[in-house]
Structure 1
């Protein structure tokens, strides 16, 4: 008789919470951890209608902890050099409110947490754009980080290389909007809108987005810059400059990246085997229904991929995620570069 296949180590499922209701939906649907931010510039999804005040954080922490889930606080923007104290106070608030870990990008904020809250776990934010094990090890040795969230620009072989050479837990994005730039520090949108994506909470602030009906179709503009023109029945993606269609050498196409969502369901066993400790779902700006439905799919997929039996992507999972994909398209992104 062949030896039974041993179960794989199960990674944490880390899900977004832009509201208390979304947090509750994520926990009820099987999230191991939720990540959230305060209603200020200390987190990278800082815009109206999202995020938590102190009372909501307290309620969310109690709800999650009662059901065995953790709460990660995103303090993932870069502190204002003129006055970093709001970021320091936010770290103090997170500790007092019972957060299990802080997701941090700014080294000054990390130093504050190291010195004032040494027992609070630090996770290196994707905003820090650490893509090598040497960079991650620097943050571990200097500030004591215990997990690093990798940017969405690495191949799976590069992820494996990083995981193999650092003692820090590695977290990767599994599903959601795909950023192809230096995360949080792209200058395309700030050049067009005058607002930093890192502090404005979004690449394309609602105040700058324009949808214009024309004889040629529906124009998507960011202020005065034409990003794309859609046929009346054509799916419309979130209007960002990096995902627009432009004329290059006489050909109109997506010059940098298509409006599409990352979906790594097919890669789950490989990600687990190379030592990834957490799978992150993007979408704090999305609805509670999105959070619930996507979390349920990924809970089932991770349980199946980490189990002793054979793994395959269920058609129902793919169909469910397709309904939430940007531009109704899905990709493996940089994990699989066919031109290599």
Structure 2
């Protein structure tokens, strides 16, 4: 499995959205300027969201929201609005919706949003326009400036805040979307509730404290290095929040990472020197997970030798932990914590097809 499979399968699953230019800002309700990433514009009731390509003005509470890519649909729904349209993303079931999202909107709103048909060359502008949105969100995206300009002609658009395919933390995304939806207090409540869930699960498992871990990828057939995630990856952050401690080799991982990647590779010949009590990973299939742990070098690596590993080859599980939200964390964390606890007792998990 290539390391790049950690990135969403963008054009198929999470069609890219776009970023703003000043020429159209006065027409579309977007403007440039400094300050915080989300703020109320002085002297008005409008909300201004700063992002990597300028800033977007949202003049009134939005009612019809198109949520593109990963994560944004979850937050919009949790904040009290059923999106009018979303894209099918990686990790969705046969219905086209991620299971936790589908369950939530069906229960809360009685219906699911329209799925925007896939377009080969970026966002499906015609389908988005037909939904008559008053806000377009795509905080987990690879939006280009041209795509952003076109989307902003349809409705005020909030793309990624700092860089492509970088949604920030789930807390930051919840807060930013809460600001865009004029639901700051509700966003703060959701963050607090989710933090309390994480804290309560951690408190139930004091055995996690001081246990070290590596979060990575399954091994490609014939591969000579194991993919591992860096300290700012959401999978790593949520595992640390549950009480675990990242491997002491993290500094070495960071030193070998290229550009702004959130992963790197460890040569199999150096893997025995990577200290860890537990190994967590995701991959394309259960067979790939089995292939990984049966590799002669990996099989002798401490966490695998002790059967202390959790491998998710199930798309929905991998998606839920890879792009965590206030909805997906409620869905995945109880099972994830149980799997971690079992792994520390020498009962490994390989879940998937």
Whether the TM-score (by the shorter chain) exceeds 0.5 is no
State TM-score, norm by structure 2. Answer: 0.28
Higher RCO (C-alpha under 8 Å, 6+ residues apart)? 1
Structure richer in helix, relative to its length = 2
Q: TM-score, normalised by structure 1?
A: 0.29
